Amino acid sequence: MRFLSSLPLIFMVGLSLYAIWDLKINEYTPPVPTDQLAEKSPEIEAVMVAHREALRTDMSSNVLPQIEQSLKAITEEYGEASPEHNQALIETALMLNANARGDLAEEYMAKAVEVSREVYGTDHRETALNLNDLANLNTDALNQAYSEEAIGYLREAFEIRSKILPDDHPERLANEVNLADQLFLEWQAKGTKEDISALNEAGSLLSHVLAVYEAQGENANKADKIAVGLLFARVSFYRDDYETAAEYFSDRLAPVVPETDPSIYMVFTNSYAEYIVSLKKLGRDEEAEKMRSGIMAYLQGDEPAGDVEPAVAGVVQDTPLPAPDPKAASGAAEVSSEPEQSEPGENEQEAARAPTTVDTPEE
């Protein structure tokens, strides 16, 4: 009887030991470490090259079935949940997008995300990379600047990268900028002055990126510093932080001098308006008007009257200054006054797998 009364306890202990053994035996190890990217398969690359050439010359109804046949053959040989299938889906998505078929590209990248989760795991650099590009393809397919889906993808990618990559890793920094840009655009579309939580989150992300750039010193990409600083200035402006906005606008926008291409002033119209309003809010009316009149003179082909502050331009409209347009494109989308402008995070696949350059922090 004493033995029978002990059976439940023996059963529970045995079940616990089995669960521990099963967990240990079946513990999943991804094909490559979580903070690394998988090497491309030359065989898959060779298959996709032929389709890439076909798409360049003939975007007919025949090409897509051929791509599908190749994908089917790859899954039959390597398996549905395989690095090779993941690579094939990524390359299909990117080459379709490059040939103006973003509607189809998003579908294939979404499949790549699911395969990546299965092959590499949720918290893996490969999965984050695919999520980042899925966000970009999503907004392209919708033909709009931002989307709630893209914000969700970027959030997930950033959560992954925050766990596995160092603070100064280029992919993590680009992810922060992309997410901040999407949050800013979302607030511009439907936010209010009473609820600036999206702006606060964007500002926090951009502050971290700018701090990393500051720590990198001369090694930081100059064009990226300008683009991110300009977006931070615009976010600060709509948070009513006019001091910060004025500081970053003055450091990033083209000066009012004869050598500056007047078209720059047109491209940055809203940023200039926001900068001048910031100056006026800070009580620097004379400086603001000098800049406004200076830019107007250069746009009209006249020499500006008197000395013009060599900081930044004004707006193209005459006085009184119009209110900045909160629906305008964000700073990250604008063209820098520098000759070279990078687009951090936009379809990262090729850049992420390229060899590290002297201007890029070591991965």
pLDDT of res. 200: 96
CATH 1.25.40.10 fits 28-165, yes or no: yes
Domains 28-165 and 168-353 belong to one CATH topology: yes
> For residue 269, what pLDDT is reported?
87
Q: How far apart are the first and last CA of the chain?
A: 66
What would the pLDDT profile of 264-278 be if each residue is shown by its tens digit? 888 888 899 999 999
279 CA to centre of own chain: 30
Which residue numbers in the chain have pLDDT < 50?
3-4, 10-11, 13, 15-26, 305-345, 355-363
Q: How far apart are CA 359 and CA 352, in angstroms?
A: 14
Can you give the pLDDT at residue 297?
84
The H-or-E segment that residue 35 falls in is: none
CATH code linked to domain 168-353: 1.25.40
Closest CA to 165 of 21, 36, 358, 340: 36
Confidence (pLDDT) at 265:
83
Contact 291, 307 (CB under 8 A): no
- Residue 219 DSSP class: G
Domain boundaries, the chain: 28-165, 168-353
